[in-house]
Amino acid sequence: MAHRSWLGALAGAALGAVAARTAYAAFTRRPPIGDEKTWTRTNHRGEPITLLEGPAFVAGAGAAAALAPGLPARVRAAALIAGVGGGALGAYDDLHGGASSKGFKGHLSALARGEVTSGAVKILGIGAAGLVAAALLPRDPRQRAGGPAAWAVDTLVDGAVIAGAANLANLFDLRPGRAIKVGLLTGTPLLVASLAKGATAGAALTAVPLGAAAALLPEDLGERAMLGDAGANALGALLGVAAVTGLRRPSRLAVLGVVAALTATSEKVSFTKVIAGNPVLHRLDMLGRRPA
């Protein structure tokens, strides 16, 4: 069983990496929508940078999730709905988003005033995709024993984790490589836990986004491309699916609490300033990057 989980992880990571690099090469030659200028933005240095890394991650991780061996059909479908759905909604915000409303609170406040922002569409859409993905995931006998009420609670919790993780990953995509580093640092323990348990599906599911993200990290660190909302939302959503698939209810509730706390904190505190003010976090953040 442990042997199969290692093979599943290697296959998932390899498929994710190859598919993401292939998609990036294809999209830089011919963007999926519009032309090169459609996807060009200005980074924190005031330099032009492409957002095509995001669609490449979504396409690569989506293809790998569809092809990775050892994934039950319902888990595969959940990963595709959360990852590709979150990525597509993120791409919509990348291409049509404005600066009038920012942050989770800003978009929901605008919605309360009757203003439907692209960010609000993304938030609601990712929330719906998270719930659908959570509803598809199979439950173990201990979870099913609670009946429909327990199933509904688990689905709400898992959907919130998936959607919350998608949003939280995007909050870190403000400096080169940061969102991917956070994804690798949070996803690696999930992968190790799946391998330790011999969970083939969990290992393959976690390895897919990690492989795709690692393959695109050089472009991100080199400040040639960035994940944008499309890539960051998809990365967070896929890691969220992996987390709720591999963790028991108390651990999933703890993850939800951490995600909710960090999201609420981001409304008042700058993650960039916190990272810059902590020597260890700053060193990790600058690893592989050009000097500021």
The span from the CA of 243 to the CA of 57, in Å, is 19
Average pLDDT over residues 246-256: 93
For residue 121, pLDDT over 70 is answered with: yes
> What average pLDDT does the chain have?
90
Which residue type does 8 have? G
- What is the residue whose two structure tokens read 């039950």? 72
What pLDDT band is residue 116 in, cutting at 50, 70 and 90?
Answer: low
Q: What is the value of pTM for the model shown?
A: 0.93
Buried b (16+ CB within 10 A) or exposed e, 75-87: bbbbbbbbbbbbb
Residue pLDDT, tens place only, 65-89: 999 998 999 999 999 999 999 999 9
- Mean pLDDT confidence for 22-30: 97
Please tell me which residue, 65 or 138, carries the higher pLDDT value. 65
Average pLDDT on 179-183 reads 97
Q: What is the pLDDT of residue 100?
A: 53
pLDDT in the model for residue 279: 96
| Partners of 180 in the β-ladder | none
The 3-state secondary structure of the chain, one letter per residue: CHHHHHHHHHHHHHHHHHHHHHHHHHHHHCCCCCCHHHHEEECCCCCEEECCHHHHHHHHHHHHHHHCCCCCHHHHHHHHHHHHHHHHHHHHHHHHCCCCCCHHHHHHHHHHCCCCCHHHHHHHHHHHHHHHHHHHCCCCHHHHCCHHHHHHHHHHHHHHHHHHHHHHHHHCCCCCCHHHHHHHHHHHHHHHHHHHHCCHHHHHHHHHHHHHHHHHHHHHHCCCECCHHHHHHHHHHHHHHHHHHHCCHHHHHHHHHHHHHHHHHHCCCCHHHHHHHCHHHHHHHHCCCCCC
The lowest-confidence range among 94-98, 116-120, 239-243, 259-263 is 116-120
How far is it, in rounded angstroms, from Cα 220 to Cα 32? 19
pLDDT of residue 117: 73
Determine the Cα–Cα distance for residues 19 and 56; give it in Å rounded to an integer: 8
Mean pLDDT of 132-150: 76
Place 45 in a pLDDT band, splitting at 50, 70 and 90.
confident
Length of the chain as a residue count: 292
pLDDT given for residue 96 in this prediction = 87
**Cα–Cα distances in angstroms (integers) from residue 281 to residues 132, 196, 258, 271, 272, in the given order:** 35, 28, 18, 11, 10
50 strand-pairing partners: 40, 225
Please report, for the chain, the start and end positions of each structural domain, with discontinuous segments joined by +.
2-265
The number of angstroms, rounded, from the C-alpha of 292 to the middle of its chain's C-alpha atoms is 26
- State the pLDDT at residue 216: 98
182 pLDDT tier (thresholds 50, 70, 90): very high
Q: Looking at residues 196-202, what average pLDDT do you find?
A: 89
| Band of pLDDT at residue 267, cut at 50, 70 and 90 | confident
C-alpha closest to that of 262 among 164, 148, 192, 191: 164
Determine what percent of the chain is predicted with pLDDT higher than 70.
90
- pLDDT, position 108: 62
The whole-number pLDDT of residue 98 equals: 62
Does the pLDDT at position 102 exceed 80? no
What does the pLDDT read at residue 97? Answer: 73
Q: What is the pLDDT of residue 118?
A: 72
